Structures are given as structure tokens and as C-alpha cells.
Amino acid sequence: MPAVDPSVVEAEVDELLARLPSTDAISGDLNTHAQILDHAHEVLVQALSAVDKS
């Protein structure tokens, strides 16, 4: 099982969160925001799961 590299996980989550609009933006597609946040959450869950199994 490959080791989890925290810098890779952080970079992937940062990349996903960078796709969200600034906090000043009021408008936007909530479904898109939810999908991005869900994907970032899934990245973190998978990383934690991999660490837990090792």
C-alpha cells in the first residue's frame, strides 16, 4: 500500500478549493460548489482511511 504524502493531499485539496469563488462573491452555482467541496472531503477521507489501514 502506498504511503500517504501529506503535501500531495494538501496540494490536491488546495487545487479543488481554489476553484471556489472568493468569499465576497454572492452568486454562483451551489451545486457546483457542493460538488467541489464533496470532492475535497472525499480526498481527505481517502487519505485518512489509507493512514488508518497502514
Model-wide pTM > 0.85: no
What secondary structure letter does DSSP report for 21?
Answer: P
User: CA–CA separation, 18 vs 24, rounded Å?
Assistant: 14
pLDDT along the chain (54 residues), means of 10: 85 94 68 90 94 79
CA distances (Å), 15 to each of 7, 19, 31, in order?
12, 7, 18
